[in-house]
Homo-oligomer: A and B are copies of this chain.
Amino acid sequence: MAASHADSPRAGAAVDPRTIASIVRAALHEDIGRGDLTSMLTIPPGVRARGVLLAKQDGVMAGGAVVTECFLQNEPCCSLSELLPDGEPFSSGDHLGRIEGTARGLLGAERVALNFLQRLCGVATLTRQFADAVKSTGVRVTDTRKTTPGLRVLEKAAVLAGGGSNHRFALYDGILVKDNHIRLAGGVAQAVARARAGAPHTLKIEVETAHLGEVREALEAGADIIMLDNMDDDMMAEAVRIVGGQALVEASGGMRLERVRDVALLGVDLISVGRLTHSATAVDISLELELLD
């Protein structure tokens, strides 16, 4: 099943290389600054090394392009090979890639590359668990805006690698009408009408609902997507029935792994899960370096 994930167009919807380059540049600057003192003082410039990225836990690959960029920025002449494609599962003990270059260059980028890789594989691995849990239900597991500040674009790509889908990227490229918006606009109908009138016609309008009355209001107001926020399973089932295919239905709130298949079977179209990005933990991966004489 991993292969089907990796081959899908989702995994191909990668990030613009300039965006990756810019994030990596800042991260290397944070760690290296004016120089890697220890290596500069103890290692002659020309010494070369090679190494493997070694998985010490099972997981799902993500962030391959980021790791590559880390090493290439710090050591333009290094070579990377046999990098596991994003979306591929791996087991403890697997090699995720090989690298060769100057010892100074590799040592300087090592920590930053691993910090990215461990976190992004963590996101992909957790996402895969959710994606597997809803397998064959036709339901999409999506991320949220609960991402690490500065890394959203990478974490959302890791969600794709894990087999999840992306929700809107940010406040500027999606319309999600919540309770405060509704109250201030003078009701659901008014809020949706204003959003429809002022937003590009290329964006769907999503409305957050907390109970069935709001679901009906959202439906009547012409919402394209209706989010069911923190409802229990019975209420969600009824909401799905009410909507009756006239809008997409997104379940949201407290979506833990144990519960997600049950929710999927209620007939919702999407389940959005904040923990994919805010509570994924690092996958243990190390760089085993060997000096070349």
Shortest CB distance A23–B (Å): 7
Contact A171 B31 (CB under 8 A): yes
0/1 interface trace, chain A 91-127, chain B, CB 8 Å (1 if under)? 0000000000001000110011011101100000000
A116 to chain B, nearest CB (A): 6
User: How distant is the Cα of A172 from the Cα of B160 in the complex, in angstroms?
Assistant: 16
Answer yes or no: A149 CB below 8 A from chain B CBs.
Answer: yes
| Chain A interface residue bracket vs B | 35 or more
Give the contacts of A187-211 with B (CB-CB under 8 A): 191, 194-195, 197-204, 206
| Given A13-B35, A33-B170, A37-B172, A150:B151 Cβ within 8 A | yes
A173 at the interface (CB under 8 A from B): yes
Whether A16 contacts B32 in the complex (CB less than 8 A), given A115-B147, A204-B204, comes out as yes
Q: Mark A143-176, 1 if CB is under 8 A from B, else 0.
A: 0011111111100000010000111111111111
| A9-B41, A45-B12 known; A281-B282 Cβ under 8 A | no
Q: Would you call B204 and A111 a contact (CB within 8 A)?
A: no
CB-nearest residue of chain B to A51: B180
Contacting residues of chain A (25-46) with chain B, CB-CB under 8 angstroms: 25-45
- Also in contact, A27 and B112, with CB within 8 A (given A9-B41, A176-B38): no
A216 close to B (CB within 8 Å): no
A111 and chain B: residue at smallest CB distance: B145
Q: Is A19 part of the binding interface, using a Cβ–Cβ cutoff of 8 Å?
A: yes
Is A246 part of the contact surface with B, judged by Cβ < 8 Å?
no
Q: Are A225 and B204 touching (Cβ within 8 A)?
A: no
Question: Across the interface, do B146 and A181 meet the contact criterion of CB distance under 8 Å?
Answer: no
Does A270 lie at the interface of the complex (its beta carbon under 8 Å from any beta carbon of B)? yes
Please report the C-alpha to C-alpha distance between residue A206 and residue B250 in the assembled complex, in whole angstroms: 22
A281 to B181, CA, bound (A): 30
Taking CB atoms, residues of chain B closer than 8 Å to A8 are 197-198
Closest beta carbon of chain B to A178's beta carbon, Å = 8
A206 contact set on B, CB distance < 8 A: 202
Docked Cα-Cα span, A142 to B203, in Å, equals 14
Beyond A41-B194, A42-B191, A115-B146, is A200–B151 a contact (Cβ under 8 Å)? no
> Within 8 Å of chain B (Cβ to Cβ): is A212?
no
Is B108 a contact of A171 with CB atoms below 8 Å?
Answer: yes
B-chain residues with CB within 8 Å of residue A153 when the two chains form the complex: 34
Q: Within the complex, which residue of B12, B31, B166 is in contact with A44, where a contact is CB–CB below 8 Å? A: B12
Compute how far the CA of A206 lies from the CA of B36 in the bound complex, rounded to whole angstroms.
Answer: 14
Pick the 10 closest A-B CB pairs, nearest first: A27-B149, A173-B173, A33-B172, A279-B281, A278-B282, A36-B171, A150-B150, A42-B181, A16-B35, A41-B198
Q: List 10 A-B contacts (CB under 8 A).
A: A16-B33, A18-B29, A27-B150, A39-B171, A41-B198, A49-B180, A111-B146, A115-B148, A169-B173, A202-B203
